[in-house]
Amino acid sequence: MVNIAVFVGSVRRDRKGIRVARWIEKTLQERNHKVSFIDPMEIDLPILDRMYKEMDNPSQKIVELRNKIKDAEGYVSVTPEYNRSTSSALKNTLDYFLEEYYFKPSAIVSYSPGMFGGINAAQQLRLIFAELGAPTIPSSFAIPQVHKVFDANGNLIDESYNKRVGKFLDEFEWYMNALTNQRAIGTPY
Ligand SMILES: Cc1cc2nc3c(=O)[nH]c(=O)nc-3n(C[C@H](O)[C@H](O)[C@H](O)COP(=O)(O)O)c2cc1C
């Protein structure tokens, strides 16, 4: 069992991404992981002013967010693609913290209504996670035509995704285990 933080990337009122994020959460829980679900819409996260480490009196919700990120052993971000990049909402959430991410792996799930499944967003997000010290695993998981994969209630329509995501999460678990073991020995800083 591993403690994993799942980031929701969209705060649009009509967001499709919440379906994807809840499915990822459920799938991880079925694999016996503890999931911390991070939804910037639910916590009404403001546009960044001060980073967590610069705050004198962080609010309870920021402290709780920080603990979820600090205690996680790996990160899954569920990103939409806006103008060939990831969302400002996801970037904003990530930007609040830095050291909390160090030496832990991240994995990217992207989606779009078109045929490419948000791969441009995923590629750009890799650079962001590299900078945060939470390198992304080699595979990413793209969901094209997301409206055909989940119904309006968030139920998975296309069952083939359960098999596909299994391979992706096997790889993610391998990296989480590898880096957790290595962090126990020590980190360079
Ligand atoms: C501002 C904006 C920019 C978009 N740009 C892209 C894009 O570059 N590539 C793409 O495939 N879809 C693009 N779309 C369509 C989104 O992929 C689609 O609306 C998707 O449902 C967004 O995820 P969400 O519903 O979880 O917010 C864009 C949508 C918005 C609102």
* Residue keyed to tokens 């911390």: 36
**pLDDT given for residue 131 in this prediction:** 98
- Ligand 1 contact, 83 CB (< 6 A): yes
Instruction: Give domain limits for the chain.
Output: 3-185
- Ligand 1 contact, 80 CB (< 6 A): yes
| Cα 142 → chain centroid | 13
Fold of 3-185: Rossmann fold (3.40.50)
Whether pTM exceeds 0.85: yes
3-state secondary structure of 139: coil
- Ligand 1 contact, 12 CB (< 6 A): yes
d(CA 18, CA 79): 10
**pLDDT given for residue 137 in this prediction:** 98
**pLDDT given for residue 13 in this prediction:** 98
**pLDDT given for residue 26 in this prediction:** 98
User: Mean pLDDT, to the nearest integer, of 112-134?
Assistant: 98
d(CA 176, CA 73): 6
Residue 178 confidence class, pLDDT cut points 50, 70, 90: very high
Q: Six-digit token pair at 82?
A: 């806006």
- Ligand 1 contact, 33 CB (< 6 A): no
By the 10 Å C-beta count (0-12 exposed, 13-18 middle, 19+ buried), 81 is classed as buried
**pLDDT given for residue 19 in this prediction:** 98
Residue ID of nearest Cα to ligand 1 atom 1: 82
Residue ID of nearest Cα to ligand 1 atom 22: 80
Residue ID of nearest Cα to ligand 1 atom 31: 82
**pLDDT given for residue 103 in this prediction:** 98
User: Mean pLDDT, to the nearest integer, of 3-28?
Assistant: 98
